[in-house]
Amino acid sequence: MLFITLPSGRRLSYVNPRKTTNKFGGESVAYYGIDAKKKWDLIESYGPKFVENIVQAVSRDILCYAMRTLSHCFIVGHVHDELIIECRADTDLDAVCERMGRTPEWIPGLALRADGFECEHYKKE
């Protein structure tokens, strides 16, 4: 296994990694996973793809941290980096945004900010 440890301590894992030659004749890394056809197969990758995986995983961890800071709210869903919260009309939007923008202790120095809006029904703004 190839493990990449994220700042949160969670690990990404890549099964049976190996150095291979890509279709252009260059070196690449391959590992086993579920391919586009939903079959277990050798998947070829490269540096920028691993960076993308890391960035998306760290973003997911930050969103999960924000969800825990809002555990008193009724979170009905999330879409990428957005939370959908059902709450009373007198809920303070600024307080919700402040909690969502808190920096996790496992990634000190990261500047976060959250924006929000209120509406009667879910919509993209």
Assess contact for 14 and 65: CB atoms under 8 A: no
Can you give the pTM of this predicted structure? Answer: 0.86
Which is more confident, 75 or 122? 75
First to last CA, the chain: 42
Strands 11-21 and 2-5, sheet pairing: antiparallel
What average pLDDT does the segment 49-70 reach? 95
Task: Enumerate the domain spans of the chain.
Answer: 2-100
Per-residue confidence band for 119, with pLDDT thresholds at 50, 70 and 90: confident
Q: What percent of the chain has pLDDT over 70?
A: 99
Residue 72 above 90 pLDDT?
A: no
Residue 22 has pLDDT above 90, yes or no: no
Run of H or E including 94: helix 93-100
Determine contact, residues 29/21, Cβ cutoff 8 Å.
Answer: no
Mean pLDDT value across the chain: 92
pLDDT exceeds 80 at position 124: no
